[in-house]
Structure formats: C-alpha cells, structure tokens
C-alpha cells in the first residue's frame, strides 16, 4: 500500500530547499534528495523524517528509491559493455529487486534463500551469479533447479559435488574464485584478497590452477571465466588494477597451457563509500575508466582476447540510500563520558560492534543553539559493546524524546540484523517523490514467539 504523508516538503518547495549557511556540508553523505528545513527537520525523497517517525514509529529505516536507481544508473554509465550485478547480501527485499532489475543490473546471491526470493519475484535467473564458500547441497540443487546463470566455484570439494548434481545432458556455467594475493579493505574481517582467509582458491600455492584443470575435465561443467573479490570498503583504484593484472596473467596461463580462452572475468565489488562528512569514497567513474584501460592493455600484452567484464557493487548502491531513525530514551553522564541511549541498537545495526564502523548521527525535528558535545550513542541491548556511534557530535541539550537520524544506513544493517533480547527488527519504508510506503513491516513479538513451538 502506498501512503502519502500530509504536508511533506519536496525538493521543489522553498522550505525544503532552504539550507541554513554552514549546514550543506553536513548533508554530504546523505541521499542527494535530502533537504534541511528551517525547523531542523530533514526530508528524504520529499518525505519529512519527523512525520515518518510519527507515522511508522522508531526505530525505522527509510530507503530512498531515487537514490538507489541513480546509483545503479551511475554504474551502468561508468562501466559500459560490462555486466553490473548487485550484491544482494548488502540488503535485499522485493522492491529493491525490481528497482535494480529495471535499471539493468544483474544479481549476486550467496544462498538458496536469496536466490529463491529473487526468482520467485520475477528476477531472471540467467542474470544471477551464485557465490558462497560453503554451499550446501540444497544451495546447489536450488541453483540448478532455478537455472542460475553462473555458479562460482570456491573450493575443490564443490567441483565433484556440483558435477554430480547436474542432470544428464546438461552443463552448468561456472566461474572459479581466485585469491590474487592483494590486501585491501577497511577492516581485517572484510579483506578477502589474500591467503589465510576462508574464500577462494589461492593463485600463489597453485590451488586455483589445479581446480581449473579439474573443471575443464568435467563434461557437466562449463568453465566460462574467473572471479575475484579482494575486500570491502576499498577507497582507491590501485588494488583493483593490481588484482586485474594478476587475473589477466592467469587467463593467459590457461590459454597457453590448456588451450582454452575463457570469455569472462568477474572483478567483484567492495567499492568504498563515505559514512561521515569528510571521508573518501571510491570514484566509480575513475574506476570504470582505469579498469577498462588496464584490461585492454594487459590482455594485449599477454596476447589474449579481452574477456567480458563483470562487477558486483552492493554497499555502494544501497548504503547511501538508507537512513535510520531512532528515538532517544535516556541521556547519562558517567565520569567524563556522555551516553545517549536510543530505542534500537546492535540488533538492527551490528556493524559498529563487528567492525568498529563509525557514523554521524544528526538531531532532527528541532533546532538547537546549545554547544555541541561529544557523546557515545548506544543501543538498548544488554551488552557494553552495543554502540551505534562513538565520538558523535550531539547538541549539549539533547534529551529523551529527541529524534536522531543516521545516514548511510542502507547496507549491512537489516541484512545482518537479529532479534537479540527479543527485540523485533525495524520496518523498512521506501520514500520517493513525496510518498512513503512500507516495504518490510516491523517484526512483532508474535513473529518471534511464533517460531518457538516447543514446551
């Protein structure tokens, strides 16, 4: 159901466009549609955040449809003649599937659950790539049953397992995930381009080459290319160029030693975004241009044809399109520290606890003239590590009942959420052109209790 919230400012109205001096930079990491009003409210997609919080409650996630679509289009422009596939693990719901599909993107999934959600909602299976370091027989069977376009082989065990499941007379297209020996990423837990982590097959120790030779001997598997993913939150182009050269080197080795020309190369994603004003994000246009130049020149030097390129953005599409809203429940001073407790926490955003991620929450709904204070914004859960934003600048007069908005909340928040302490997950509301509609309803106690059937 689509609901129009009354009295919403839009990008075209003077109120929405009037940003007080010195405040424009503070919206630099927000969706492009964000507008600051004279009363301290912010609208996104033409929807007032204050009115959205009043109507739908808090915690609440807003997802700007226009921002998602614009980011998809930016990728298509930056990477012509490239298959751009959205990494569903960042965030997935039915509406988002339709948005990215309509903008021409494919899909990257990591489980039978993500795959079934996509295909049963009309996403073309031939435009889907399936990943996973430990795919179960059910995952692989679902991929074959639903006709997934590509399956990425992540271990030697998967070769025989998948081959045994392919029906007689059929062939499944596969890629091999290669570890190119490139260290990149914003945290040790999300650096996946080097040995001694769980993903892929090593280029250094020969595991990748051995797997490739085995696959070429499997009549039910069609090796169409190579895949690599070097990490997440990468903000410079250089690591991608290094990985690309090594992948082209392996393609050349396969061509010369096996006599096989592989037509595809998937360079993964991991494109970094800014979570706070002043942080850097990866320049997608520059990445696209330099990757293409390097691919053409490296292939020419190696004497092989240029493969079809695939990239897999996830966070960079969904992350900046999301805004989380919280209501302040308590403000407490302990020694020299100021704690602002809100009605959400690590159950709806585990990233600060997992990766030390940093955010820039903003007071909305009123203008404060109080001097800013440095505070730790914490959640409601029974964990000392339940921190949503460390070293956050908040008004000195912040108090219970205030609203805090956290931008760049569209990726790896709800997709990694839990019902810890029996707290239901927040709803997701799409905003676009002054209209708001619920995409995912709030998880209730009845939902949580309904899974507990034993006594």
- pLDDT tens track for 158-168: 999 999 999 99
Tell me what the mean pLDDT of segment 165-180 comes to. Answer: 95
Query: What is the domain class of 66-319 according to CATH?
Result: alpha beta
- Per-residue pLDDT of 257-283, as tens digits, reads 999 999 999 999 999 999 999 999 999
Residues of the chain with CATH 3.20.20.10: 66-319
Q: Which two tokens stand for residue 354?
A: 């997992």
List the one residue out of 176, 123, 177 whose CA is nearest residue 147. Answer: 123
* Mean pLDDT along residues 440-455: 93
User: Per-residue pLDDT averaged across 128-145, rounded?
Assistant: 94
Range(s) of the chain covered by CATH 2.40.37.10: 2-65+320-450
Q: Is the pLDDT of residue 415 over 90?
A: yes
Considering the entire predicted model, what is its pTM? Answer: 0.91
8-state DSSP, 175: E
What pLDDT sits at residue 181? 80
Sheet holding 35-36, edge to edge: 35-36, 42-44, 47-48
Report the chain's terminal Cα–Cα distance, integer Å. Answer: 38
Selected from 3.40.50.970, 2.40.37.10, 2.60.120.650, 2.60.120.260, the CATH number assigned to the domain covering 2-65+320-450 reads 2.40.37.10
What residues are paired with 83 via a beta bridge?
310
Catalytic residue among 110, 228, 299, 382: 382
Binned at pLDDT 50, 70 and 90, residue 26 comes out as confident
Active site residue 382: yes
* Residue 271: closest CA among 322, 331, 321, 229: 229
* pLDDT the model gives residue 355: 86
> Which pLDDT score, from 0 to 100, does residue 81 have?
94
Region at 221 (left for phi over 0; alpha for psi -120 to 50; beta for the rest): beta
């Amino acid at each position: 159901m689509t609901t129009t919230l009354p009295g919403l400012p839009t990008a075209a109205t003077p109120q929405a466009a009037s940003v007080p001096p010195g405040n424009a930079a503070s919206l630099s990491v927000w969706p492009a549609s964000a507008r600051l009003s004279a009363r301290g409210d912010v609208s996104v997609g033409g929807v007032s955040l204050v009115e959205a919080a009043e109507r739908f409650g808090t915690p609440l996630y807003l997802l700007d449809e226009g921002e998602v679509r614009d980011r998809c289009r930016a990728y298509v422009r930056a990477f012509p003649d490239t298959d751009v596939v959205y990494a569903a693990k960042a965030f997935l719901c039915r509406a988002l599937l339709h948005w990215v599909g309509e903008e021409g993107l494919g899909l990257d999934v990591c489980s039978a659950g993500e795959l079934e959600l996509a295909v049963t909602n009309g996403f073309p299976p031939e435009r889907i790539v399936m990943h996973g370091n430990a795919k179960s027989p059910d995952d692989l069977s679902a991929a074959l049953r639903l006709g997934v376009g590509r399956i990425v082989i992540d271990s030697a065990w998967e070769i025989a397992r998948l081959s045994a499941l392919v029906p007689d007379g059929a062939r499944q297209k596969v890629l091999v995930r290669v570890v190119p020996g490139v260290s990149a990423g914003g945290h040790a837990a999300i650096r996946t381009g080097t040995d001694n982590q769980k993903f892929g097959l090593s280029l250094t120790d020969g595991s990748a080459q051995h797997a490739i030779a085995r696959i070429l001997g499997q009549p039910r598997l069609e090796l169409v290319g190579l895949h690599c993913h070097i990490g997440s939150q990468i903000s410079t182009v250089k690591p991608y160029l290094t990985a690309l050269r090594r992948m082209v080197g392996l393609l050349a080795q396969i061509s010369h030693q096996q006599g096989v020309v592989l037509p595809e190369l998937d360079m993964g994603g991991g494109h970094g975004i800014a979570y706070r004003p002043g942080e850097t994000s990866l320049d997608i246009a520059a990445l696209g241009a330099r990757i293409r130049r390097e691919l053409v020149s490296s292939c020419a030097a190696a004497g092989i044809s240029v493969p079809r390129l695939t990239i897999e953005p996830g966070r960079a599409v969904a992350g900046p399109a999301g805004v989380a809203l919280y209501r302040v429940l308590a403000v407490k001073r302990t020694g020299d520290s100021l704690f602002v407790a809100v009605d959400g926490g690590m159950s709806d955003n585990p990233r600060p606890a997992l990766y030390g991620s940093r955010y820039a929450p903003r007071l909305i709904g009123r203008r404060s003239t109080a001097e800013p204070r440095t505070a730790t914004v914490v959640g409601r859960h029974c964990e000392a590590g339940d921190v949503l934003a460390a070293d956050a600048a908040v008004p000195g007069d912040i108090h219970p009942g205030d609203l805090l908005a956290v931008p760049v909340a569209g990726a790896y928040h709800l997709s990694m959420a839990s019902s810890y302490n029996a707290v239901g997950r927040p709803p997701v509301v799409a905003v676009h052109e002054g209209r708001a509609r619920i995409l995912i309803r709030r998880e209730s106690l009845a939902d949580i209790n309904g899974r507990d059937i034993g006594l």
